[in-house]
Amino acid sequence: MTDTQTPSTPISMLWESADPHAALTERFRFTSTSDANAWLRDTLAEHWGLRVEACERLVISDANCLAWITVDDGRMMIAKWSMEPRLFGRLAAIARLTGWLGERGIPVSMPHPARDGRVQVEVDGFSIGLQRVIDGELLDIADAAQVEAAGEMLARMHTEMASYPEQIPTDEPPAPGTQLVGNDFRSANILWVDGGIVAVLDLEEATYRRRVDDLAQAAVLLGTRYHDWRPTPVEVRAAFVAAYERVLPLEEDEAGALDDIVEAHLAHIPWPA
C-alpha cells in the first residue's frame, strides 16, 4: 500500500463514537485515508477495470468500510469492504441475493460485477463489492404516502424472497415455517424520490424467520435511522401493516400474533430515555 493520494478525504463513523482514523488503522491496516484510497484504486483497476477519479468520503461501520467514489466515466459508486473473514461467504451470498431481487423488479442497489463475473471479490484479506450510488431521501414516516408504499414494498419483498432458490448462510438452519426476509427494513435503508421508493438498501441482516416477525419488527422500527431511535407511532404502524396486507394478507394465526410480537419488540429494544 502506498501513500500517494491526497490525505484530505473525509472519514467518519456511521454510528459508533470511536475515532475513525484510529479505526481505519486498527481494523483495516491502513495508515491513512490516502493509504486506503491507493489500495482502492489498485483493487478496482485490477478486478473491475475501473479508474477511480476521486474518493469523496470514507465511512466505517463496525467491520465494514464504505467509500463513495467517482470512476472514470463519471459514475458515482460505492465500494464496500469487510475485514471479517468469517463473513466473506455470507457477503457473497447476500450480493447474489441483491442482484436476484433487482432482476425481479425490487428496487435495490445492484452489485456491479467484477471482470470475472464475481459480485464480491476477496483480495488482500478483505471481501469487497461495488455498487452504484442511488440518489434519494430517507423514508419519511410523517408522509402517509411513503408509509403506504413501504408496506407494499415489504410485502413484495417477502413474496419474492420466499422463492429465492439459494440458501443464505446463517448461524442456525432455517426453522419450519420460516422464510428468507431482509430483517432490517426501516427508514435508514429505504430511499424515496418523486413519489416512489427507489431503493431498499443493505440486505446484510437477511435471515430466516416468519414473515409476521419481520413485519412486526419493521412496523416498530420503520422510522429509525442511525441515532436516537424512537418507536414508530401506533397510527403509522397500523397504516404500514394495512398497506402490507393489501398486497400480501396475513394468515389468521399470523394476524392474531402480530400485536403480541409488536409489543415484544417495543419492550425488548433499549430505547433512549
Mean pLDDT of 166-188: 96
CATH number of 137-268: 3.90.1200.10
Q: Residue 32 pLDDT more than 80?
A: yes
Q: Which of 84, 39, 187, 66 is nearest to 131 (CA)?
A: 66
CA-based angle 122:165:47, to the nearest 5? 20
Q: C-alpha distances in angstroms, 248 versus 24, 93, 154? A: 44, 26, 9
Per the rule left: phi > 0, alpha: psi between -120 and 50, beta: everything else, 202 is left
Mean pLDDT of 254-270: 95
Reading the block at residue 239, the C-alpha cell is: 397504516
* Domain range summary for the chain, segments of one domain joined by +: 11-132, 137-268
- Round to whole Å and give the CA distance between 86 and 84: 6
pLDDT in tens, 124-144: 999 999 999 999 999 999 999
User: Would strands 76-82 and 64-71 be described as parallel, antiparallel, or unpaired?
Assistant: antiparallel
180 neighbors 190 (Cβ within 8 angstroms):
no
- The two domains 11-132 and 137-268 share their CATH topology (first three levels equal): no
37 neighbors 68 (Cβ within 8 angstroms):
no
For the domain made up of 11-132, the CATH class stated in words is alpha beta
Q: Residue 67 pLDDT more than 80?
A: yes
Residues 6 or more apart whose Cβ sits within 8 Å of residue 245: 151, 155
Mean pLDDT of the chain: 95
**Residue 137 host element (H or E):** strand 137-138
6 alpha carbon, distance to own chain's centre: 29
pLDDT-derived band at 2 (thresholds 50, 70, 90) equals very low
